[in-house]
Structure 1
């Protein structure tokens, strides 16, 4: 077995949770727009205006970024959206 000194290794270490990360809510043919506004207000605590703006983005653009931060927190948000019946994913911010 050959052992190389650590300084001889050319390794780039990056955390798998490098970020920031985003929670994205996607449009679906099932949920009413008023329900999406309700979820955004209840779960995220958005104002009525902010929730409505995000809902319109979901409706017209097909998706909206509803949160950004640490990966673990974004995964919790996505899971909560699933619990409400919304389609959500997590992605690394560009």
Structure 2
């Protein structure tokens, strides 16, 4: 194998590594879905307690969940979004993550 072929493989490997990092750095959305179980005041409390949203922002997000059926309550790297979704499940809320466009 020539050194030129070796450098091409290295460049391709680097390109693939960079593509992987770009894909992993895309933001993800944390979506909370409406459910018939949790009280609106509890949902707003979770948004304030877990995410640190202000009372007004938490109330606005809770109303969006209630009226529209869902709300994006946070966004960030995939790993953080996954942790947020898991935490929301622990609070008894229905939550998923979506890849941002």
Which 5+ residue runs of structure 2 have no aligned equivalent? none
Counterpart residue number, 2:51: 44
Q: What corresponds to 2:34 in structure 1?
A: 27
Higher Cα Rg, which structure: 2
Aligned match for 1:72, one of 62, 79, 93:
79
Query: What TM-score do you get using the length of structure 1 for normalisation?
Result: 0.84
How many angstroms apart in 2 are the aligned matches of 1:18 and 1:42?
Answer: 26
Q: Which residue of 2 aligns with 1:83?
A: 90
> For residues 7 and 26 of structure 1, what CA distance do their matches in structure 2 show?
48
1:19, distance to aligned residue in structure 2 (A): 1.1
CA root-mean-square deviation: 1.9
CA distance in 1, matches of 2:35, 2:85: 15
Q: The residue matched to 2:29 in structure 1 has which SS?
A: strand
Shift of 1:57: 0.6
Tell me which protein shows more helix as a share of its residues.
2
TM-score (normalised: structure 2)? 0.79
Paired residues in the alignment total 90
Structure-2 separation of matches of 1:61 and 1:18: 29
User: Within 1, Cα distance between the matches of 2:66 and 2:90?
Assistant: 20
